[in-house]
Amino acid sequence: MGIDIESESISDGAYEAVKKSLTHHENICISSLPIKEPLALLIAWTAKEALSKAIKCGLLVPIQIFEIKELFYSDGLYHSTFVNFSQYKTLSFRYRKMIISIAIPEKSEVDLKGVLSSENDFIDCQLLKK
């Protein structure tokens, strides 16, 4: 398992760095999400970092190796799968103004109901696209 936690406040420099690191396919995945782009970028970034920790290499390899295959919202969580690591998935959510991603084996389940409440969910008018 790998976990990454980032503040939802993202500097302009970090925003641009993350945006440049994404593939064309990942940009399509992100644009289909119902939330504003900065938060969607953080979900993708934290998902990749959590995966890099799960496989114990960190970001010492080219970031493209962690390309996201699928990114979707379901049951209060954002779910990611990966092009090169189909044996893993990530579950991402907002908690106390942080984005948290947990990378786990694809067939595993994690009960996060205790941290997923209406105050932490992405269904918040300030976070949704207009």
Q: Domain containing 38 — which CATH number?
A: 3.90.470.20
Full domain range(s) for residue 66: 2-105
Task: Say how many domains are in the chain.
Answer: 1
The answer to whether residue 111 sits within a structural domain is no
| Contact (Cβ atoms closer than 8 angstroms) between residue 77 and residue 92 | yes
d(Cα 94, Cα 120) in Å, to the nearest integer? 6
d(Cα 79, Cα 7) in Å, to the nearest integer? 19
**Cα radius of gyration (the chain):** 14
Residue 53 has a pLDDT of: 95
Residue 61 has a pLDDT of: 83
Spans of the chain, pLDDT less than 70: 114-130
pTM for this one?
A: 0.85
